[in-house]
Amino acid sequence: MTRPLQGALIGFGFIAEKGHVPAYLSSPDAFDIVAVAEVCAARREKAKQVLPKARIYPDTKTLLAAEAKNLDFVDIATPPCDHAAIAHAAFEHGLHVFCEKPIATSGADARSMLDHAERVKRVFFPSHNYKHAPVIKAIRQVLESEELGPIHLVTLDTFRTTHAKGVAEWQPDWRRHRKTSGGGIAMDHGSHTFYLAFDWLASQPTAIAAKMSNLSAFDTEDNFNCTVTFPGGLAVAQLTWNSGFRKVIYTIHGAHGAIKVEDDDIEIHRKRAGGKVDVEKLSAASHWMDASHAEWFKYLHKDFVRQIRTGEWVGKEARDAAMCVQLIETAYASARADGRELELAPVRTAAKAG
Ligand SMILES: NC(=O)c1ccc[n+]([C@@H]2O[C@H](COP(=O)([O-])OP(=O)(O)OC[C@H]3O[C@@H](n4cnc5c(N)ncnc54)[C@H](O)[C@@H]3O)[C@@H](O)[C@H]2O)c1
């Protein structure tokens, strides 16, 4: 039997405590979280309560100096501005990296993380947890049956009444400060939107045109919309922190029908002969209101372990994550240019480009 992977959490805020840790604790044969680095004293206290056996450090550097020789991986759950530096430090110590989204705040940083992983032969794995929402898995099954034919249009709407808050003890509004977040709702939520679009249109995007606005006094956008071009179709996304309700609404359109998702409710529309359309209604409880999505992390963790065991240092998820950041960065450039469409280069890691 293989021993559990020894891991360290970097950042012990909302998603680490409520999402990542419950999933690790539910798989003691696979994971042992032995250390935590956390800059906020009150959050270090919380980490001690939740993980009494873990050794707690005030920063990544001190943790790595003391613990790296005993570790297999780090899990980065800090705000995005620090993801790249922490990932590089972990790779330098020969560790695998599990990293929250967005993996970086610039396309160049994202690519450098993937290149570093390839160079040192360690896994870089992003936290694309929405893929494991029951409702998203139900969509995948329908798409895999190919009954809808080629997909030519997807729409992805995310309505929120406010920005998500970080833990009260640190900086609950960090998502609204560009220096910490790298951007507003597109940087915060765009990754989820875009990696789903890549999957549903079964390809990588080639161009993006975006518009955005900011109704707040913060320096980041809170309304964002974009049209993303793919070789076989379009993805149109709308994200807002200014809605009157909290909801996700996705639609997926193929030659022979369409899927509509509103939170947990799925409608499958199948075009029949003579212009008839059959509608099947399903429900897949995905608990969208619970922002920790604790259940979904177990599946991500399994994929992370599989890639470690098989030596898949930079897989599709990592390349998608880098493309998400490149898309968001290009969307911001498009919005600054009054919504002009801008082209995207495919993401290649150093090894693949060779
Ligand atoms: N995948 C998802 O569904 C999901 C959901 C929520 C958050 N997130 C992502 O997780 C990350 C954290 O978000 P959150 O909501 O947990 O934020 P949070 O503010 O609740 O937690 C961040 C924690 O990191 C600590 N921290 C800040 N800088 C640090 C550093 N350099 N080293 C060590 N600790 C540091 C803070 O003190 C805080 O405790 C973000 O990238 C966010 O986008 C993902």
Q: Tell me the CB-side half-sphere exposure of residue 33, using CA atoms within 13 A.
A: 28
Based on the domain organization, do 303 and 271 belong to the same domain? Answer: no
Based on the domain organization, do 89 and 149 belong to the same domain? Answer: no
In a domain, residue 68? The reply is yes
For residue 119, what are its two tokens? 């160079």
Output the CA 304–ligand 1 centroid distance in Å. Answer: 19
Using the atom order of ligand 1, give the atom closest to the CA of residue 129.
Answer: 1
Based on the domain organization, do 256 and 306 belong to the same domain? Answer: no
State how many domains the chain has. 2
Output the CA 41–ligand 1 centroid distance in Å. Answer: 15
Q: Whose CA is nearest to atom 35 of ligand 1?
A: 11
Q: Whose CA is nearest to atom 25 of ligand 1?
A: 11
Check if 189 has its Cβ closer than 6 Å to any atom of ligand 1.
Answer: no
Based on the domain organization, do 69 and 135 belong to the same domain? Answer: no
For residue 306, what are its two tokens? 């599989």
Output the CA 162–ligand 1 centroid distance in Å. Answer: 17
Q: Is 323 helix (H, G, I), strand (E, B) or coil?
A: helix
Q: Whose CA is nearest to atom 38 of ligand 1?
A: 13
pLDDT at 345: 81
Q: Which of 14, 40, 60 to mutate to test the pocket of ligand 1 (most atoms within 8 A of CB)?
A: 14
Output the CA 52–ligand 1 centroid distance in Å. Answer: 20
Q: Whose CA is nearest to atom 2 of ligand 1?
A: 129
Check if 60 has its Cβ closer than 6 Å to any atom of ligand 1.
Answer: yes
Low-confidence ranges of the chain (pLDDT < 50): 352-354
pLDDT at 353: 41
Cα–Cα distances (Å) from 160 to 129, 220, 274, 328, 343, in that order, read 18, 15, 40, 19, 29
Summarised one tens digit per residue, pLDDT across range 272-293 is 999 999 999 999 887 777 767 8
Based on the domain organization, do 148 and 268 belong to the same domain? Answer: yes
Distance CA 172, CA 67 (A): 29
pLDDT at 13: 98
Output the domain CATH number for residue 146: 3.30.360.10
Output the domain CATH number for residue 96: 3.40.50.720
Based on the domain organization, do 77 and 49 belong to the same domain? Answer: yes
Based on the domain organization, do 225 and 277 belong to the same domain? Answer: yes
Check if 101 has its Cβ closer than 6 Å to any atom of ligand 1.
Answer: yes
In a domain, residue 319? The reply is no
In a domain, residue 350? The reply is no
Based on the domain organization, do 116 and 157 belong to the same domain? Answer: no
In a domain, residue 30? The reply is yes
Cα–Cα distances (Å) from 335 to 27, 123, 213, in that order, read 44, 34, 9
Check if 297 has its Cβ closer than 6 Å to any atom of ligand 1.
Answer: no
In a domain, residue 321? The reply is no
Q: Whose CA is nearest to atom 21 of ligand 1?
A: 13
Summarised one tens digit per residue, pLDDT across range 183-216 is 999 999 999 999 999 999 999 999 999 999 999 9
- In DSSP terms, 195 is beta-bridged to none
- Give the structural domain span for 332: 130-288+326-343
Output the CA 21–ligand 1 centroid distance in Å. Answer: 13
Based on the domain organization, do 221 and 79 belong to the same domain? Answer: no
Q: Whose CA is nearest to atom 28 of ligand 1?
A: 78
In a domain, residue 352? The reply is no
Distance CA 290, CA 277 (A): 34
Q: Whose CA is nearest to atom 22 of ligand 1?
A: 13
Distance CA 196, CA 237 (A): 11
Give φ, ψ of 230 to 5 degrees. -120, 165
Output the CA 9–ligand 1 centroid distance in Å. Answer: 11
**Sequence-distant (≥ 6) Cβ neighbours of residue 1 within 8 angstroms:** 29
Based on the domain organization, do 134 and 115 belong to the same domain? Answer: no
pLDDT at 119: 98
Based on the domain organization, do 199 and 335 belong to the same domain? Answer: yes
- In DSSP terms, 97 is beta-bridged to 74, 124
- In DSSP terms, 239 is beta-bridged to 158, 224
- Locate the DSSP E strands across the chain: 5-10, 31-37, 55-57, 73-76, 96-99, 124-126, 151-159, 207-213, 223-230, 233-240, 247-254, 257-262, 265-271, 277-283, 342-343
User: Strands 73-76, 5-10: parallel, antiparallel or unpaired by DSSP?
Assistant: parallel
Output the CA 279–ligand 1 centroid distance in Å. Answer: 41
- 272, exposed or middle or buried, with CB in 10 Å at 0-12, 13-18, 19+? exposed
Based on the domain organization, do 45 and 74 belong to the same domain? Answer: yes
In a domain, residue 349? The reply is no
Q: Is 280 helix (H, G, I), strand (E, B) or coil?
A: strand
In a domain, residue 353? The reply is no
